[in-house]
Amino acid sequence: MAGLLLFLMLFTLLSCANDPDPVGKQDDRDMLVLPDKPNILWLVAEDLSPYIPSFGDSTIQTPTLSRLAAEGICYDYFFASAPVCAPARASIATGMYPTHIAAGHMRTGGNPIYFPEGIIPYEAQPPAEARMMSEYLRMQGYYCTNNAKEDYQFQKTHTAWDQSNGNAHWRNREPGQPFFAIFNFGVTHESRIWAKAEDSLWIPADLPVEVPPYLPDTEVGRKDVRRMYSNIKEMDAQVGEVLRQLEEDGELDNTIIFWYSDHGGPLPRQKRLLYDSGLKVPLIIRFPNAQQAGTRNQDMLSFIDLAPTVLSLAGIAPPAHMDGIDFLGEHQPAEKKKYIHAAADRFDAAYDKIRATRDRRYKYIRYYETEKPMFLRVKYRDQMPVMQELYRLRDADELNEAQALWFRETKPHFEFFDVENDPHELNNLADDPQYADKIRELSDECDRWLDAINDTGLVPESELLETLWPGMEQPVTANPTIYLEQAMVTLDCPTPGASIGYKVEKEDGSYPDSWEVYTGSFNQPVGRDIRVLAHRIGYLSSDTLIIER
């Protein structure tokens, strides 16, 4: 333990934040030396903007993340595809935009008491060829675990994970088996601002903090900002424990480590909005033996790029239906991405319809429901003290100019920002004639994107639901068909895109906890029953059938 503490102390002072030179062009990737099937570890914080030293914020020290940054690559232009967890996670799991797969509304399968009238809980529905990313990895022999948050806007398929629960861990795999493991860290979640309000802090109670200009710099505001930083410190320690286990197992330099957050920050006017405060997130990737240590990358990247990149690193060609690109492996496109895109639609019972397109410097945000106020009230967020402080100041007519922008009574048709010089997006340049060409460029690119993905959020949700679930009935995956010839088992399913899983009875008569992914014919062991089912994303599962011994 003393050695580990010394190691962490040495790296506390290291950060890649001051290295301005972008690296990581496609040609550089050929320099990486990786195993054929490297382990891949995802460490995912919740609700976190780049509030850490490795990305320029020195308010607190994060020794674990600073170590990762010193040993890895920091990505400065990495963006969520949606500014809230469930739609964002849908895109991570599938490599597709949420509004491409009917997953843009937050949330589709939640508590119906928060739903608009006429809408029932439902599941998103990717195209038939789509599978969860982890299933592709399992098909290639990876042991895949998720600890433990799901919330994909659809139920996970039976074949998605070897384990998905609070006990999921790479340590449960067979010796030598490559793994893909996710650990989610909920301590930085928005709700932890108020739920932990009376807990002891991991930082000084009077720590000087910078309050964003769109929030009140009052004692209430500063207290919530300090709680945010305290939660980040706690998360850093939790990440350090997982990395300690990885080193203890001798797997650090057999593993590609991704650390990132699931969308922007937890404070008001961050999460749920298409400003960078809701979309721009930190990403650090560490390669085995700290290859390309301490470098920065300034490519434009999005959540939809995670799935194809991980598959490529694992030696799997990314499927053509994915919207994202490989940015690290052997399947990178000839040209780098110039734009990122994002969308925001319904939050609980309140509808909105907003789209955004951004390049390295400029952001274009399009508002479809301009008659509605800019501010969208979310009762869940109202529990945060600083949100109540905003209401108090609003009602007393004491909001400053930056804070009052969020409470405008109507929306403009679009906003346009120079995010390089206006990172908080407070100065709308939409009417400035010198930017007319750039505005037209980003508007045209937004149109191109909407057409390319056949944006489901532009369709009224009730109509969309009727196309997904005719008569408000969820489609059901057909039962698999079974062909048995001289103990050779062949399986199929009439439902396009259905994944087929099976379990072979063990010697003691029990069955494994997880379903094997069917990839081709196999022999039935003598004297063993086999259970079989099929499941397509967004559909109910088929019945479970038994092939008797």
SS3 content of the chain, % helix, strand, coil (to 5): 30, 20, 50
Torsion of CA 255, 8, 192, 344, to 10 degrees: -50
Exposed / middle / buried, residue 396 (Cβ in 10 Å: 0-12, 13-18, 19+): exposed
Q: Would you say the pTM of this structure is higher than 0.85?
A: yes
Query: Which among 521, 53, 28 has a CA at the least distance from the CA of 298?
Result: 28
* pLDDT for the residue 22: 39
Q: At what angle do helices 385-395 and 219-248 cross, to 10 degrees?
A: 160
How far the first Cα of the chain sits from its last, in Å, is 52
Q: Catalytic residue positions?
A: 85
Residue 281 has φ and ψ, to the nearest 5°, of -130, 155
Q: What angle do CA 315, 319, 321 make, to 5 degrees?
A: 160
Fold observed for domain 481-547: Immunoglobulin-like (2.60.40)
Query: Hey, which CATH number is domain 2-15+33-337, 3.40.720.10, 3.40.50.300, 3.40.50.2020, 3.30.360.10?
Result: 3.40.720.10
* pLDDT for the residue 452: 98
> Which residue has tokens 């009238």?
117
CA-CA distances (angstroms) from residue 293 to 68, 69, 170, 241, 385? 9, 8, 25, 21, 40
The neighbouring-strand residues paired with 356 are 342, 365
Q: How many residues comprise the chain?
A: 549
* Contacts of residue 98, Cβ cutoff 8 Å, sequence gap at least 6: 81, 82, 87, 88, 90, 91, 104, 124, 153, 343
Cis peptide before 148, with omega less than 30 degrees from 0?
yes
* pLDDT for the residue 427: 98
Topology alike, domains 2-15+33-337 and 481-547: no
* pLDDT for the residue 30: 54
pLDDT by position in tens, the chain (length 549): 334 343 343 333 333 333 333 333 444 455 799 999 999 999 999 999 999 999 999 999 999 999 999 999 999 999 999 999 999 999 999 999 999 999 999 999 998 988 999 999 999 999 999 999 999 999 999 999 999 999 999 999 999 999 999 999 999 999 999 999 999 999 999 999 999 999 999 999 999 999 999 999 999 999 999 999 999 999 999 999 999 999 999 999 999 999 999 999 999 999 999 999 999 999 999 999 999 999 999 999 999 999 999 999 999 999 999 999 999 999 999 999 999 999 999 999 999 999 999 999 999 999 999 999 999 999 999 999 999 999 999 999 999 999 999 999 999 999 999 999 999 999 999 999 999 999 999 999 999 999 999 999 999 999 999 999 999 999 999 999 999 999 999 999 999 999 999 999 999 999 999 999 999 999 999 999 999 999 999 999 999 999 998
The sheet carrying 340-344 orders its strands as 340-344, 354-358, 362-367, 414-418
Neighbours of 232 (CB within 10 A): 25
Burial 466-497 (b: 16+ CB within 10 A, else e): eebbeeeeeeebbbbeeeeeeeebebebebeb
Query: Which among 387, 532, 508 has a CA at the least distance from the CA of 541?
Result: 532
Distance CA 290, CA 11 (A): 13
Neighbours of 177 (CB within 10 A): 13
Q: At what angle do helices 2-12 and 219-248 cross, to 10 degrees?
A: 130
Neighbours of 217 (CB within 10 A): 15
Instruction: Give the H/E segment covering residue 344.
Output: strand 340-344
- Residue 221, classed as helix, strand or coil, is helix
CB 479 within 8 A of CB 542: yes
CB 288 within 8 A of CB 40: no
Strand 179-185 and strand 143-147: pairing? Answer: parallel
CB 83 within 8 A of CB 263: yes
Distance CA 448, CA 310 (A): 27
DSSP secondary structure letters along 264-285: S-SSTTTTTSSSHHHHEEEEEE
DSSP secondary structure letters along 36-102: SS-EEEEEEESS--S-SGGGT--SS--HHHHHHHHHSEEEEEEE-SSSSHHHHHHHHHHSS-GGGTT
* pLDDT for the residue 1: 39
Neighbours of 331 (CB within 10 A): 16
CA-CA distances (angstroms) from residue 193 to 34, 202, 228? 40, 13, 6
Distance CA 132, CA 130 (A): 7
Task: Please give the radius of gyration of the chain, using alpha carbons only, rounded to the nearest integer.
Answer: 24
Distance CA 289, CA 286 (A): 9
Q: What angle do CA 182, 278, 107 make, to 5 degrees?
A: 65
Instruction: Give the H/E segment covering residue 462.
Output: helix 461-468
Give the residue extent of every domain in the chain. Answer: 2-15+33-337, 344-472, 481-547
* pLDDT for the residue 286: 98
Q: Give residue 37's identity as a one-letter amino acid code.
A: K
Query: Which among 86, 96, 82, 99 has a CA at the least distance from the CA of 129?
Result: 96
Tokens describing residue 342: 């994002």
